[in-house]
Amino acid sequence: MVARVIEWTRTRSAPLVHVVVAVAFLMATLFGALMLRTQMVQNSFEAAQIEAHINVLTQDVEDDQAKLDQLVASLPDKASDMGMVPQQGSVSIDLNGYKSNESGK
């Protein structure tokens, strides 16, 4: 039986099968590597686009904040142009000691 196995491995078709299997394995490996690299490049491109979009949105927020700060700074001048005067004393109400009227009167 061992002699038959040795004789079978020495035939011409057995090495050809090994070569075909090895080539098929290499082609599958190369195809898998190509697909993996393609997916990685696509993910990288999407991440770059998202990062650029985030930078644009951040710049927009900073511009809006600068406009808001400028408007807040110009508010006292606009109020005085309209004839408004600053309040002389501040009025505050302290509600810490407040007790509600239970009877609703």
- Quote the CA–CA distance of 14 and 6 in Å, as a whole number: 11
Separation between Cα atoms, residue 52 and residue 9, nearest integer Å: 61
Q: State how far the Cα of 57 lies from the Cα of 51, in Å rounded to an integer.
A: 10
Put simply, whether the predicted model's pTM sits higher than 0.85 gets the answer no
Tell me the pLDDT tens digit for each residue of 71-97: 999 988 888 888 888 777 777 777 787
pLDDT digits (tens, 9 = 90+) for 15-66: 767 778 889 999 999 999 999 999 999 999 999 999 999 999 999 999 999 9
- Give 3-16 pLDDT, tens digit per residue: 775 665 666 555 76
Residue 17's pLDDT is what? 76
- Answer whether 8's CB lies under 8 Å from 14's CB: yes
